Amino acid sequence: MISLPAPKPDILARRDAILADLGRLLPADAVIGETIRMKPYETDGLAAYRQMPLAVVLPRTTQEVAQVLRYCHANGIRVVPRGAGTSLSGGALPLADAVVIGLMRMNRIKEINLEDRYAVVEAGVTNIGITKAVEGDGFFYAPDPSSQLACMIGGNVMMNSGGAHCLKYGVTANNLLGLTFVTIEGEVIEIGGNYLDAAGYDWLGLITGSEGQLGMVTDVTVRILRGPEGARAMLAAFDAVEVAGAAVDAIIGSGIIPVALEFMDKPCIHACEAFAHAGYPLDAEAMLIIEVEGSVAEQDMLLGKIRDICARFNPTSMKLAESAEQSLAIWKGRKGAFGAVGRISPDYLCMDGTIPTGELPHVLKRIGEMSVQYGLGVANVFHAGDGNLHPLIMFDANDPESFRKAEEFGGDILKLCVEVGGCLTGEHGVGVEKRDLMTTQFTLRELDLQRAIKSAFDADWLLNTAKVFPLADNPKIAA
Amino acid sequence: MTRPEGQGAEGLGELMGAGSIAPATEESLAAEITRAHAAREPLCIEGRGTKRAMLRPVQAARTLSTRNLTGITLYRPTELMIRARAGTPLPEIEAALAENNQQIIAEPPDLTAMFGASEAGTLGGAVSANLSGPRRIMWGAMRDHVLGIRAVTGEGEVFRSGGRVLKNVTGLDLCKLLTGAHGTLGVLTEVTLKVLPRAEATGTLAIRVPDAAGGVAALSAALGSPYGVSGAALLIEGHGLLGLEGIIALARIEDFTESVRYRLGRLRTELAAHGEATLLDTAASHAVWRSVRDAEPLGATPEEAIWRISVAPSAAPGVVAALGRAFAAKLMLDWGGGLIWVAGPAREQAHGAVMQAAAAAGGSFTLFRGPASLSAHVPVLPEEAAPLAAIARRVRAALDPLGLLNPGRMRG
């Protein structure tokens, strides 16, 4: 179980006065204090943990965000930034003595410039909302986390989100040009702009993925890209995990960088097929979904090369989409993977470790052994090009013992990832979930350095307190 | 280009006179910094010292070089990663990658000629300066491909950030913070880079355009096409490249041979209204983009200063016009017009014009190469807003409390 720091009693005692102050800073409808109305904010995508906040505010402008932060800073009140609440690591989990600052009302698209290929959007615009605004002209915003229908760009910046297509197009950090950034002291700072390389320290890179530890982002300038002429997927199934892994190596070794390269193991194939009826091969031990881009002729050429490579590894089956519809069908199962596993298990924990791809057979074998040891099922789906694993550990939330085992199993998987040269999180973030595992990846001194940088931005540790960094031995939080 | 006259003497004399330390291991490098910290002795941090005239002269009596920290320590072609010690010369890394048909994605320029250096720069230097070439427009900057680092703080403590995997959001990303920090936040000892396969073929459209505005419009059209343009530069009159005359917009495609042929054909049709086009094949493309990467068409003389300005591409023609009016600026554009290379007299008046033009266009500038007589007295980067400058001081204090690493290099 994950512990949260003790709430500051003086803050709790002043709750009514704080609500009244916030009500003077913001329009009346932007401050929420009633328990029933705060209910939707008590958890995020890591729904096993819930905590009612002190208050929720929903500002509409950068200035309103700055006012709230200035007020909280002056009064020693903790702050939890929140986008759409899709974080899977508890990044937006409230604290009892914290004000949740929700960005969902900051949802305007402020500028689209196709000639210079950028868009300026408020932090509460959804990821898909950016693409929707430019796709009529053939453009798109590249990072595509699975939650892209719901998640907000401000949250994407905080988590440095990626998705199936980031093998080619990169993650959020690689697709940003500028930010409007508000410090805990309420200072509004413009970072970068509408151009490629700002001179000086790379604040954009440091803030991206900082999980709300350094400040809040209110406006984001993103690169938008012209989409390819078309894209098409294929699937290839193999009778052993190692063989599928070797096929991935051979594809990349041939000089082809597919726009997506996804890997599913047998339990995942079965769960997805039962859900999506995508025609997945139920006899296979592992399956790859590979997508390429270009004109129809180029797609044919690339899929042909990939088919020939896969053929060298005795696939149990291969299926090349012949149309956009068939591609969609192949993707439907993958995109529904998390929901599909939800159908066959009352609950699951979605892990997010990254490993060097060469370690894949070893890691999957060990996960299989641990599954037996813990008596819990696990389905694996991941981005094969970049080694980002998503083991889905199945458990029953009504059984505390089952939940405890699932968390322990998850921790063991993440430690294994670090042991083989990988890391604790590829895209979901550390949040509260992996906070106490940070010492497996970093030395205490390395953590101290990161904490010192956090302190350079937020001396009193009011921003998203108790996330990312272990609570133990942290004088800034112990109080 | 040859070594800028006067620059070497002015910028380096005091350093070379006082000697240079070049430890052979990370451990001994860390020990040297610990010693310097105890003695409160500032250090000039460098690899092979090829970019000493970049930004501002360092206020330090002693030089600490990573030139003896060399060698590739891990290379996994199928995992798209390579790891090497910071002092490893870039050509050595590029050669190892080429053997496996791979490349450093960001295409860092070779500044040997521009800086009058006698040898090529190091991996640590390219990362510390966040040097990116033409491919930045499609595949990202050097900083986008740094997967992991090992570095030493200003107190002599070794730390790591990142790792060797392509996706990693564990903790604060200090790799990005140190990339482009010019050695002022820590001394890189080892860098892990993401790499990608080299394209089977390359082809370029060279389009004769009427003026800078027409050229940027052609490049924007190219980059707004679905053909994956991986280089988009504009050569101003007098560049003398490949016998091409006039103002030339260059658009590059890198891919499988069939794709390059197909895409260049489509691009040529789409860009037909922008000007008459010549097709450059793989060999000619390689030559032309190597030249653009290293800013050779700029034609800077050794005594001239060189600036880089980053703006939204559509603002570039305005900058070009303003600088043309202010002084006899030599110019060359890359990144679809978003990167403006400028050469001109190493004088405060020209520098002021560059700063003003960049600010008016809402962009950023760097005094990329200049003699100490200029760079020691002017801001070589845009000033940071006061709250950010305060954060920067605190961040620097976290990593280098006494400010001993490359003092003065970026800001005074």
Over residues B19-26, the mean pLDDT reads 93
Question: What would you measure as the largest C-alpha separation in chain A, in angstroms?
Answer: 71
Phi, psi values for residue A194, rounded to 5° = -105, 25
Question: Residues near A193 by Cβ (< 8 Å), separated by ≥ 6?
Answer: A177, A178, A221, B312, B362, B363, B364
Q: Which residues of A114-143 are buried (b: 16+ CB within 10 A; e: fewer)?
A: eebbbbbbbbbbbbbbbbebbeeeebbbbb
B88 vs B70: CA distance, rounded Å = 4
Residue with tokens 């979901």: A428
Averaged pLDDT for residues B90-107: 97
Question: Of A183, A172, A176, whose CA–CA distance to A217 is shortest?
Answer: A183
The beta-carbon neighbor of B223 closest among A117, A248, A449 is: A117
Please enumerate in sequence order all residues whose Cβ is within 8 A of that of B80, keeping only pairs 6 or more positions apart, or say none.
A252, B102, B166, B194, B195, B196
CA distance A361 to A365: 6
The conformation of residue A171, written as its DSSP 8-state character, comes to -
Check CB contact of B170 with chain A, cutoff 8 Å.
Answer: yes
| Nearest residue of chain A to residue B155 (CA atoms) | A449
Pairwise CA distance, residues B196 & B81, whole Å: 8
Percent of chain A topping pLDDT 70 = 99
Pairing of strands A216-223, A225-226: unpaired
Cβ-based neighbour number of residue A159 at 10 Å: 30
Q: Which residues of chain B are within 8 Å of residue A196 when distances are taken between CB atoms? A: 136-137, 141, 310, 335, 338-339
Residue A349 above 60 pLDDT?
yes
CB contact under 8 A, A253 and B77: yes
**Band of residue B13 on the pLDDT scale cut at 50, 70, 90:** very low
Q: Do A171 and B167 touch (CB under 8 A)?
A: yes
Kindly list the residues from chain A whose CB atom is less than 8 angstroms away from the CB atom of residue B363: 193, 195
Nearest CA in chain A to B363: A195
Per-residue burial over A76-103, b = 16 or more CB atoms within 10 Å of its CB, e = otherwise = ebbbbbbbbbbbbbbbbbbbbbbbbbbb
Q: Which residues of B fall within a CB distance of 8 Å from A421?
A: 163-165
Residues A200 and A245: beta-carbon distance below 8 Å: no
Contacts of A457 in chain B (CB under 8 A): 391, 394
- Residue of chain A whose alpha carbon sits nearest to that of B313: A116
ipTM given for this complex: 0.95
* Cβ-based contacts of B172 with chain A (< 8 Å): 206, 209-210, 213, 450, 453-454
Q: Give yes or no for residue B12 having a pLDDT over 80.
A: no
Task: Please compute, for residue A43, the number of CA atoms within 13 A of its CA located in the half-sphere on the CB side.
Answer: 8
**What DSSP string describes B116-145?**
T-SS--BHHHHHHTT---TTHHHH--GGGG
> CB distance A194–B362 less than 8 Å?
yes
CB contacts, 8 Å: B410 with chain A = 200
**Both structure tokens of B260:** 């390059």
pLDDT tens digits, one per residue of A359-370: 988 999 999 999
Tell me if B398 and A388 make a contact (CB, 8 A cut-off).
no
CA distance A64 to A41: 19
Which of A216, A449, A455 should be substituted to probe chain B, the one whose Cβ sees the most B Cβ atoms within 10 Å? A449
Query: Measured between alpha carbons, how far is A102 from A22 in angstroms, rounded to an integer?
Result: 14
Contacts of B62 (CB under 8 A, 6+ apart): B15, B18, B19, B20, B21, B36, B41, B42, B43, B44
The answer to whether the CB of A337 falls within 8 A of the CB of A264 is yes
pLDDT score of A44 more than 60: yes
* Contact (CB, 8 A) for A101 and A80: yes
Structure tokens at A465: 């307190």
Query: Residue B16 pLDDT > 50, yes or no?
Result: no
At residue B397, does pLDDT exceed 90? Answer: yes
In one-letter notation, the amino acid at residue B75 is: Y
Q: pLDDT tens-digit profile of A295-342?
A: 999 999 999 999 999 999 999 999 999 988 899 889 888 877 777 887
Asked if the C-beta of B273 comes within 8 angstroms of chain A's C-beta atoms, the answer is no
